[in-house]
Amino acid sequence: MHFQIPEEKKKRFILNTDAKNEVDDQFAIVHALLTESFDLRGIIAAHFGELKSSHSMQDSYDEIMLLLELMHWQGSTRVEKGAEKAMPDEGTPVDSPGARLIIEEAMKGDERPLYVAFLGPLTDMASALLLEPGIAERDIKVIWIGGGTWPCGGSEYNLKNDVVAANVIMKSGLELWQIPRNVYQMMPVTYAAMARRVAPHGEIGKYLVENVIRHNNVNTNRPSEYRVLGDSPAIGVMLNENCGRWRWQPAPEFDEQMKYVHTGKNRPIRVYETIDDYFIMEDFYAKLADYAEASQDALSD
């Protein structure tokens, strides 16, 4: 069934992704691209530290371009490079085309809010804020997959890759929706489900599933027959902000061990406590199937 969303109802959206870090960003990227109610203003390639690669941001950029190629959507979406590394301190931004994209969109006269979803570190958001403090006065909603379990916190991958940037955002006035580690882990999907509902749908479906299985098989600490799609909740809360239970909490800060420091000094942020994995995955499966069917029809014409 074809449907249209009025332009004024579409969510103005930037996606920031450390796409080559693992294999879950890819699902979230494809989901975002296929969502009619998103006005996707661009995708920013994010770094993911130096442990896995000395050029991680470029790896993310290349992965985004590969996904667009597999979908035959080259040139359909603006793709910019983000920071190559973490911020050195809370007063020093890492300038990049990605940070400049955030500033450009934030400072436009568009009456719609700007949603910026981060599937990795917050480097580009913190850098954009330092480069142009005026964006703090704009209607921006920052969605972040990151941070440890409330209320104690602790080591968490996306946070680890730029604790400084996370502290800049926590201390800012920006509206933040945080999806911490214990919540984004509520997204397990089995091989059987992916084989049945993802793999048959075009080159992109086949790639997504094969990529998961390949990654799991070469990592001994990964499960044998499922994968947590931990970045997909960012798309879920964009579609439906009540796609999970949440509450306002005074924004904490992070110490050197990545534990929360509850100073009580910062504005409230939205912290998700649960997520509706069924809502998210059923929407993804349906959109992927529709995309594959439309692509096949186009080839037949």
Q: Would you kindly state where each structural domain of the chain is located, as residue ranges?
A: 10-295
pLDDT-derived band at 299, boundaries 50, 70, 90 = low
Residue 301 pLDDT exceeds 60: no
- CATH of the domain spanning 10-295: 3.90.245.10
Q: What is the pLDDT of residue 184?
A: 98
Is residue 80 within 8 A of residue 50, CB to CB? The reply is no
Q: 226 is written with which tokens?
A: 């499922």
At 224 the pLDDT is 84
> Could you give the count of Cα atoms lying within 13 Å of 127 in the half-sphere of its Cβ?
23
Q: Sorting pLDDT into bands at 50, 70 and 90, what band is 222? A: confident
Whether 3 shows a pLDDT value over 90: the answer reads no
Per-residue pLDDT tens digits for 44-72: 999 999 889 999 999 999 999 999 999 99
pLDDT in tens, 262-279: 999 999 999 999 999 999
Q: How many CB atoms lie within 10 A of CB 283?
A: 19
Percent of the chain with pLDDT over 90: 93
